[in-house]
A and B are shown apart, each in its own frame.
Chain A
Amino acid sequence: MQAVDVKGLLERHRHDPTRLVQMLREVQAAEGWISPTRITELAGALGLPRARVEGVAGFYAFFATTPVGAYRVLFSDNITDRMLGSVALRERLCAKLGVGPGEVRADARVSVAVTSCTGLCDQGPALLVNGHAIGRLTDARIDLIARCIEAQAPVEAWPPELFRIDDVIHRKDLILSSSLRPGEALRAAFARGADATLEELLRSGLRGRGGAGFTTGEKWRAAKLAPGPTRFVVCNADEGEPGTFKDRVLLSRYLDLVLDGMTVCGFAIGAQKGFIYLRGEYLFLQAPIEAALAARRKAHLLGRDVLGHRGFDFEVELHLGAGSYVCGEESALIESLEGKRGIPRSRPPYPVTHGYLGQPTVVNNVETLVAAALVTVNGGAWFAKHGTAKSPGTRVHSVSGDCARPGVYEFPMGLTVQELLDACGAKNAQAVQVSGPSGTLLGPAEFRRKLAFEDVATAGAFTIFGETRDLLDVSVNFAHFFAHESCGFCTPCRVGTTLLKKSIDAIAAERGTRRDVKVALRLAVLMRDTSHCALGHTACAHFLALHEKFKPTIDRRLSSLEFLPTFDLDEALAPAREVTGRDDGQAHLEDT
């Protein structure tokens, strides 16, 4: 660990408080944690209240405000990692290193804990070591990692093979088979003009690929028409929904299409500035993206008078997240971009009128921007010919779980669940989780349903559970995920996600009763009806679906009793026995 040069850091970030999360990332990377002294220094230099900086440092999962190991190992804890044996691998690493789960070893060299899905579900199990992703974990690779840590080798010097990330593409369609050259979409936009570019996008019927399905052209038009001295384009590359990783592949292989889409959007709505908000788990994409931005500046695809188009200036800045699922929600993402805690804003007003720094802002998913670039070149009618009437175009699916060929599949919208199962070689699927933990659990009776906005809407995750899986384990995993990722802003989600986790844990441990089920179902209603944002609205959906479609999975673990104490009554008397020096029959409860 190397002490960070605070003065240099502040200068590099122009003393700009909106870059606070980026600064804290650098402190974390250099020093392994964010000490109270550093918080005081940064707050003083930025003119922010100290407590506000502490609050930001305390919000993001990747920031440690108490010391962690010099090697901080975080195992990806998605259900797919678990299905591939991550729990045993974690135990193996802990045993090798002599450290307990969630603890810091006495010599402070290493700590081992878990983190939410790292987006390597097609090549898991995975982990992060000091933020660097390692996939395809096996016993041998775990042993190698343990040896590297004991040898105190800097992570940069570990065998590069450990850090290889594959772009596994099994089927290409409109997007993935594109051979557009960098800037081609921009030239097409300049030739059409800003208004006609927007018209073409409206004609395409393209709907946002982040899941909500808002018409992209309408979003751009609203931002263009909204009053404000300046406008912004944000690429949402936060891809935090467990089970999705297709944006990782798009950013890795089709980055210029993403940047073309952003720049076209800037041209169409009159923005001069764009941001890529990249999830912190994809640290390995930081250098390639920075390099691509530099290359585009050199090729006049960014900067003043883009491609010589007089009066159109456009710049793109890269921001990294720091471990927060809720930052995938567009208004929380904007808060994070502004250097704050990632709390979803009250809406309305929406980002299209009051977004980044209060200005009109378009926030689009990575895949949406790529599709927009293609529409700009090939026209709206071309795009609308594919997919269904209500869901034009194609969809890039992230397929993982029990199948022969996990990876990325692009198909026209409207594909049935069964067709995708067949394509990836999934036999005997018991269920599929579409669109991640916040999405929909489908059983075989529903495999004829279509993956499209008008039927089963999806943000791209497709997680398959074979017939031998116990689906309650899935619900346990999802409940822990939501409790970990709730931002804590509103009462129902903050407390409800934790209570739901406790109820489902009790059921899984065969200490649950019918009352636990009733409480969980009631919490589901409360959270759906009163939460502040979509995280809370959907955080119970997995348990509701399990209860509705796979009830025996829950019932077979229930205690027959209506009520079971959450603690052992006799055990609770132990301190009293110790104090009074008694251990006779009358110092124990009768029935034990």
Chain B
Amino acid sequence: MSKTFTMDEREIPFVEGQTVMQAALADGVYVPHLCAHPEFKPHGSCRVCTVKVNGRHAASCTLAAREGLVVENQTAELRELRRELVQLLFVEGNHFCPSCEKSGDCKLQALGYELEVKTLHFTQLFPDRPVDASHPDLMLDFNRCILCELCVRASAEVDGRHVFALSGRGIDKHLIVNSESGRLADTSIAATDTAVSVCPVGVILKKGRGFRVPIGQRTYDAAPISAMPEGKKP
């Protein structure tokens, strides 16, 4: 008899050590998320996966599954909180989907559709974030960064290069690269690095392949993010 917890009146089985989100996804129940990724240790910064557990809010990506938990996932209240979090991410950066190479493959955009973000609601901050096109094979467009740290984690844990890190704090927190010049060209990054492919938005882009897949034939053009099997998401 496996252990279970309840999510929106459905019994979710789990094994010891799984988080609430991992157990739910493994059972085919979608919990919206951005900074969580099956190959990396969860750290709970985007908060989009917020659920309600026994009446209290918690990030499901860092919450250990326990026997008998009563978890709310798809409720109107949580949908609204998650929509607002996605809106905060949109107003924090400069996101212009129609001209973005990642349009249709972007998790932030896909979540915008999923959570019915129809306006930005909050005041846009319009930050000044220059792009870094110094590298021959790659470019960085910091305007779209949502600070999920997936590239930081991938470069450190998988690629073993520590190309990315975060600096600053508060609203000035920003992605930096591992070179005294601050330029990507002066780091040890390679276009084949996991840190490159793991970016859920349009920050880390490979040069020379823009719009190779036409808009309309991209990942989330086929189906909403909630219907995509976890492993297939970019």
Question: Are A59 and B46 in touch, CB under 8 angstroms?
Answer: no
B69-112 contacts to A, CB under 8 A, are 81, 84-85, 88-89, 91-92
Query: B207 contacts the other chain (Cβ, under 8 Å)?
Result: no
Contact B165 A54 (CB under 8 A): yes
**Is A55 in contact with B167, judged by CB distance below 8 angstroms?**
yes
Would you call B135 an interface residue if the criterion is a C-beta within 8 Å of the partner chain's C-beta atoms? no
Q: A346-B44, A529-B81 are in contact. Are A488 and B88 (CB under 8 A)?
A: no
Q: Which of B57, B84, B165, B169 contacts A51 (CB 8 A)?
A: B165
B167 adjacent to A519 (CB under 8 Å): no
A49-B165, A52-B165, A502-B123 as given contacts; A491 in contact with B172, CB under 8 Å = no
The interface residues of chain B lying within 8 Å CB-to-CB of A119 are none
Chain B nearest CB, measured from A563 CB (Å): 12
Scan A43-54; emit 1 where CB is below 8 A from any B CB, else 0. 000000111101
Chain A nearest CB from B34 CB (Å) reads 9
Say how far A74's CB is from chain B's closest CB, in angstroms: 16
| Number of residues on chain A facing chain B (CB within 8 A) | 44
Q: Report the Cα distance A519→B178, complex, angstroms.
A: 38
Contact of B89 among A39, A57, A485, A491 (CB under 8 A): A491
On whether the beta carbons of B171 and A50 are closer than 8 Å, the reply is no
Asked if B162 CB lies within 8 Å of chain A CBs, one says yes
B43 interface residue (CB < 8 Å to A): yes
Task: Determine whether the beta carbon of B180 is less than 8 Å from that of A37.
Answer: yes
**B130 interface residue (CB < 8 Å to A):** no
Q: Which residues of B contact A487 (CB under 8 A)?
A: 169-170, 173
Q: A566: CB under 8 A from chain B?
A: yes
Q: Which residues of B contact A498 (CB under 8 A)?
A: 125, 170-171
- A84 and B165 CA atoms in complex are apart in Å by 41
Q: Report A526 CB to chain B, min CB distance, Å.
A: 5
User: Is there an interface contact between A55 and B47, defined as CB atoms closer than 8 Å?
Assistant: no
Give Cα A65–Cα B174 distance, bound, in whole angstroms.
14
Asked if B50 is at the interface of the complex by the 8 Å CB criterion, the answer is yes
Asked if A170 is at the interface of the complex by the 8 Å CB criterion, the answer is: no
Q: Is B24 an interface residue (CB 8 A)?
A: no
B162 touches A51 (CB 8 A): yes
Q: Is the CB of A486 within 8 A of B171?
A: yes
Chain A 435-446 interface mask (CB, 8 Å, partner B; 1/0): 000000000000
Given contacts A51-B177, A346-B44, A490-B45, contact A496 B88 (CB under 8 A): yes
User: Is B176 a contact partner of A55 (Cβ separation < 8 A)?
Assistant: yes
Report the minimum CB–CB distance from B62 to chain A (whole Å).
5
- Tell whether B122 is near chain A: CB-to-CB under 8 Å: yes
Q: A483-B170, A483-B171 are in contact. Are A499 and B165 (CB under 8 A)?
A: no
B168 touches A (CB below 8 Å) = yes
Does B50 lie within 8 Å of A530, measured CB to CB? Answer: yes
In the bound complex, how far is the Cα of B177 from the Cα of A519, in angstroms? Answer: 35
CA distance A488 to B169 in the complex (A): 5
B147 interfacial contact with A, CB 8 Å: yes
The answer to whether residues A488 and B171 also contact, given A495-B89, A566-B123 and a CB cut-off of 8 A, is yes
Q: Which residues of A contact B171 (CB under 8 A)?
A: 483, 486, 488, 494-495, 497-498
Using A39-B180, A499-B122, A502-B123 as known contacts, say yes or no to A491 and B57 having CB atoms under 8 A apart: no
Question: Of B62, B92, B165, B166, which contacts A495 at CB under 8 A?
Answer: B92
Are A489 and B45 touching (Cβ within 8 A)?
Answer: yes
Q: Which residues of A contact B91 (CB under 8 A)?
A: 495, 499
- In-complex Cβ contact of A488 among B47, B50, B173 (8 A): B173
Q: Interface readout for A448-492 with B: 1 if CB under 8 Å, 0 if not?
A: 000000000000000000000000000000000001111111111
Decide: A54 and B85 in contact? CB cutoff 8 A.
Answer: no
In the complex, residue of chain B having the shortest beta-carbon distance to the beta carbon of A532: B44
B54 contacts partner chain A, Cβ-Cβ < 8 Å: no
Which residues of A489-516 have CB atoms within 8 Å of chain B's CB atoms?
Answer: 489-492, 494-499, 502-503
Residue of A341, A489, A497 most packed against chain B (CB within 10 A): A489
Most chain A beta-carbon neighbours within 10 Å: one of B50, B59, B166, B172: B166
Quote the shortest CB–CB distance from A49 to chain B (angstroms). 4
Whether B30 is near chain A, meaning CB under 8 Å from some CB there, is no
User: Is B164 positioned at the interface, with any CB of A under 8 Å from its CB?
Assistant: yes
The A388-431 residues at the B interface (CB cut-off 8 A) are none
User: A50 near B178 (CB under 8 angstroms)?
Assistant: yes
- On chain A, the residues within 8 Å of B134 by CB distance are none
Chain B nearest CB, measured from A100 CB (Å): 20
Q: How far is the CA of A39 from the CA of B172 in the complex (A)?
A: 20
In the assembled complex, the CB of A2 is this many whole angstroms from the nearest CB of chain B, namely: 23
Whether A379 is near chain B, meaning CB under 8 Å from some CB there, is no
Given contacts A51-B162, A494-B170, A498-B171, contact A529 B57 (CB under 8 A): yes
Interface residue? A556 (CB, 8 A):
no
Whether A490 lies near B47 (C-beta < 8 A) is: yes
Specify which chain A residues have a CB less than 8 angstroms from the CB of B62 in the assembled complex. Answer: 346
Q: How far is the CB of B79 from chain A (nearest CB, A)?
A: 13
A58 touches B88 (CB 8 A): no
B44→A49 contact, CB < 8 A: no
A494 near B92 with CB under 8 A, answer yes
Do the beta carbons of B45 and A59 come within 8 Å of each other?
no
B166 touches A522 (CB 8 A): no
Instruction: Tell me, yes or no, whether A40 is within 8 Å of chain B by CB.
Output: yes
Q: Which of B169-192 contact A (CB under 8 A)?
A: 169-173, 176-180
Please determine whether A492 and B180 come into contact, CB atoms closer than 8 angstroms: no
Closest partner residue, chain B, to A346 (CB atom): B62
* Contact residues in A for B168 (Cβ distance below 8 Å): 58-59, 488
Contacts of B11-36 to chain A: CB distance below 8 A: none
Other-chain residue from B85, B164, B166 in contact with A530 (beta carbon distance below 8 A) = B85
What is the CA–CA distance of A59 and B169 in the complex, to the nearest angstrom? Answer: 5
Complex contacts, A484 vs chain B, CB 8 Å: 170
Chain B proximity mask over A311-355: 1 for CB below 8 Å, otherwise 0: 000000000000010000000000000000100001010000000
Decide: A51 and B176 in contact? CB cutoff 8 A.
Answer: yes
Chain B positions within 8 Å of A497 at CB level:
170-171
Residues A519 and B122 in contact in the complex (CB < 8 Å), given A487-B170, A488-B171: yes
Whole-angstrom distance between the alpha carbons of A494 and B174 in the complex? 11
| CB contact between B47 and one of A39, A486, A532 (< 8 Å): that residue | A532
Q: How far is the CA of A341 from the CA of B91 in the complex (A)?
A: 25
* 14 further interface pairs, Cβ-Cβ under 8 Å (given A36-B180, A526-B81): A51-B179, A52-B165, A54-B165, A54-B167, A346-B43, A491-B45, A492-B47, A494-B92, A494-B170, A495-B89, A495-B91, A496-B88, A530-B81, A566-B123
Q: List 18 interface pairs A-B (beta carbons < 8 Å), by A numbering.
A: A39-B180, A49-B165, A50-B180, A51-B162, A54-B176, A55-B166, A58-B176, A59-B167, A324-B169, A346-B43, A348-B64, A488-B168, A494-B171, A495-B125, A496-B88, A499-B91, A522-B84, A530-B81
Residues of B within 8 A of A (CB): 43-48, 50, 57, 59, 62, 64, 81, 84-85, 88-89, 91-92, 121-123, 125, 146-147, 156, 162-173, 176-180
